[in-house]
Amino acid sequence: MNSLRLTDLAHCKGWIRDKSAGCIKHESGRFFRIVGIHDGERYRIMLQQDDHGQVVLAMIKLHYAYRFLLWDKWEPGTILKHQLAATCQSTRSNLDNVHGGKHPPGHDLANLPGKLQSECEGHWICKSNVTTTIHKPSNDSVIPEHYALGEEQLKSFLRSDFVVHQDLASVLACVDWKTTFTPSDTHLAGQLWDSLQARLVGANDILESARMNNTHAAVTIIDVAEAEEKSKETIAYVSVESDETECAAWCQPLLCRHPEFVTLVTFMHNDIRRFAVVLKDDPCLANHVQYAPTFSGSVPHNLKLRQLLSVTNQDEGARFLHATTKYTIAECDENDAHLIRGFYLTLGELNELAMSELCLTSDLRTCLSLVLGLM
């Protein structure tokens, strides 16, 4: 049984408005804080957290093919009841049992080393997760509460709305695709596989140069009460009961935002499929500069695109209430590529950057997971 009831801050047990710090926080000082920021142009309500989250994707090889150890995760802010989640995905506060409940599934894998990857840029201040992919021995048993999902099943779910958790979609981009996946027999999948083998040079140099030349001032944090009056985002307070989560009952705030739209454009050039990406420069982004999808928001009207796949996912339901993003993979003719600003990278280069640290935004990594669904 899972239930969610709207309440207010006065009845949101454990959460307080800290007037001296100008934020909404948990009385333990853990979990996360809700703050206001002003970037010189607009006011925003954002989330801030001192420690990293942990996302682990474990794979096991059975009958010469990889299986992915996943589980059904329920969160109070989700639109549908469950989403496919990575083997372990948790905040440090939950791993430390600050809530007084159970350990999250897969918690014994949570302290493995990994690479930092940004999370939900635009709504977190410099938030990142420790992301780890591991291969378990074939004679290992499946972790309790998990099941082993095959590659074709996983790709099918990646092409579906509201099924794959954002953290799982993000970590899938960080897997070494060449040694883990196999292409289907479609013409598009063959093009994508060829693009995966093609690795150019220079994308890392461009990123490092942009970071060195970054001149953005530090983000200005303001009183969340002021941001609440002027921001498009709002805060909902909920009382939750669940027999499927680590804690049976709790209260918390959730951030509410408008739907968002992201498009990654691809085209053929010299018989190799490339993807148009841009540099996102934001003081609220971990490392401040990362590669991002071609368009966030509207697409120019003079650019003719053919949709290859469109999927609507939602942000983490433990921090956001019914917050959705529509991700689209679209193709343009090579002759129209000059209308797109940015850099044209192969799938091999993007996968290599994803396996590095803090190079691709979470939106771009999610778009790559959709590309995987097409392969």
Confidence of residue 32 (pLDDT cuts 50, 70, 90): very high
pLDDT recorded at residue 216:
65
pLDDT recorded at residue 136:
82
On the question of pLDDT at 3 being above 80, the answer is: yes
Q: CA-to-CA distance for 176 and 111, rounded, in angstroms?
A: 21
Structure tokens of 120? 């939900």
Q: What is the pLDDT of residues 92-130, one digit of tens each?
A: 777 777 777 787 888 888 888 899 999 988 899 989 999
pLDDT recorded at residue 232:
92
Show the domains of the chain with their CATH numbers.
2-50+221-255 (no CATH), 53-74+81-91+103-176 (3.90.79.40), 197-216+258-374 (3.90.79.40)
Bigger pLDDT: 144 or 271?
271
Angle, alpha carbons 148-108-74 (nearest 5°): 60
On the question of pLDDT at 142 being above 80, the answer is: no
Bigger pLDDT: 183 or 136?
183
Structure tokens of 324? 């959705």
- 347-354 and 187-197 are packed helices; what angle lies between their axes, rounded to 10 degrees? 60
Confidence of residue 159 (pLDDT cuts 50, 70, 90): very high
89 CB-near residues (< 8 Å, 6+ apart): 53, 54, 55, 56, 73, 104, 129, 165, 167, 168
Read off the pTM: 0.95
297 CB-near residues (< 8 Å, 6+ apart): 260, 261
Which of the residue ranges 90-104, 304-318, 343-357 would you say has the lowest mean pLDDT?
90-104
CA 145 to chain centre: 23
Got the DSSP string for 138-157? TTSPPPTT-EEE-HHHHHHH
pLDDT recorded at residue 217:
65
Confidence of residue 131 (pLDDT cuts 50, 70, 90): very high
Q: Does residue 111 sit in helix, strand or coil? A: coil
Beta strand 324-331 with 115-118 is unpaired
Which of the residue ranges 14-18, 170-174, 206-210 would you say has the lowest mean pLDDT?
206-210
For residues 198-221, average pLDDT: 82
On the question of pLDDT at 25 being above 80, the answer is: yes
pLDDT recorded at residue 212:
86
pLDDT recorded at residue 241:
92
pLDDT recorded at residue 16:
97
